[in-house]
Chain A
Amino acid sequence: MSESVPRYWREIKIRERLIGSKCEDCGRITFPPRKVCPYCRSRKLTEVELPKKGKLLSYSVVRKPPAEFEKYAPYVIGIITLENGVNVISQLTDIDLKDVKIGMELEGVLRKYREEGEEGLIHYGIKFRPRIK
Chain B
Amino acid sequence: MKPLREVGILGFGGYVPMYRIKDEEIANVWNAQTSGLPVIEKAVPSQDEDVFTMSYEAAKNAIARAKISPNLIRAVFVGTESKPYAVKPTGSMLVTSLGLDNRSLAAEYEFACKAGTEAFQSAIALVGSGMLEYSMAIGADIAQGRPGDELEFTSGAGAAAFIFSKKSKETVAFLEHSVSYVSDTPDFWRRQGQKYPQHAGRFTGEPAYFNHIISSVKTLFEETGLKPSDFSYAVFHQPNTKFPLRVGEILGFPPEKIKPGLLSPVVGNAYAGIVPLGLSATLEVAKPNERILVASFGSGAGSDAFSFVTQEALEEKKNLAPLVSDYIKRKKYVSYVTYALYKGKIPR
Contacts and interface: CB of A to CB of B under 8 A. Distances in A.
A112 B97 contact: no
Contacts of A127: 48
B50 A112 contact: yes
Given A17-B99, A71-B47, A124 B322 contact: no
Contacts of B93: 124
Contact of A109 (B53, B84, B321, B326): B53
A118 B84 CA distance: 11
B49 interface: yes
Contacts of B46: 93-94, 111
Given A71-B348, A122-B85, A132-B327, A111 B49 contact: yes
Interface in A40-90: 49, 71-72
Interface in A9-60: 12-13, 16-17, 49
Nearest to B98: A17
Given A17-B99, A71-B47, A93-B48, A110 B348 contact: no
Nearest to A94: B18
A122 to B, nearest CB: 6
A49 B48 contact: no
Contacts of A13: 96
Given A16-B96, A49-B99, A71-B348, A110 B326 contact: no
Given A13-B96, A71-B348, A133 B326 contact: yes
B326 A124 contact: no
Given A13-B96, A17-B99, A132-B322, A124 B52 contact: yes
- Which of A17, A110, A122, A132 is the most central at the interface, judged by chain B CB atoms within 10 Å of its CB? A110
B56 A110 contact: yes
B190 interface: no
Contacts of A93: 46, 48
Contacts of B49: 111-112
Contacts of B99: 17, 49
Given A16-B96, A94-B18, A111-B49, A132 B330 contact: yes
A16 B48 contact: no
Nearest to A96: B332
Contacts of A96: 332
A17 B56 CA distance: 11
Given A122-B85, A127-B48, A110 B330 contact: no
A113 B53 CA distance: 11
A70 B326 CA distance: 31
Contacts of B57: 109-110
- Which of A12, A17, A124 is the most central at the interface, judged by chain B CB atoms within 10 Å of its CB? A124
Interface of B: 18, 46-50, 52-53, 56-57, 84-85, 93, 96-97, 99, 321-322, 326-327, 330, 332, 348
Given A109-B53, A112-B49, 15 more contacts: A16-B96, A17-B97, A49-B99, A71-B348, A72-B47, A94-B46, A110-B53, A110-B57, A111-B53, A112-B50, A124-B93, A132-B326, A132-B327, A132-B330, A133-B326
Interface of A: 12-13, 16-17, 49, 71-72, 93-94, 96, 109-113, 122, 124, 127, 132-133
21 contacts: A12-B97, A13-B96, A16-B96, A16-B97, A17-B99, A49-B99, A71-B348, A72-B48, A93-B48, A96-B332, A110-B57, A110-B97, A111-B46, A111-B49, A122-B50, A124-B52, A124-B53, A127-B48, A132-B326, A133-B322, A133-B326
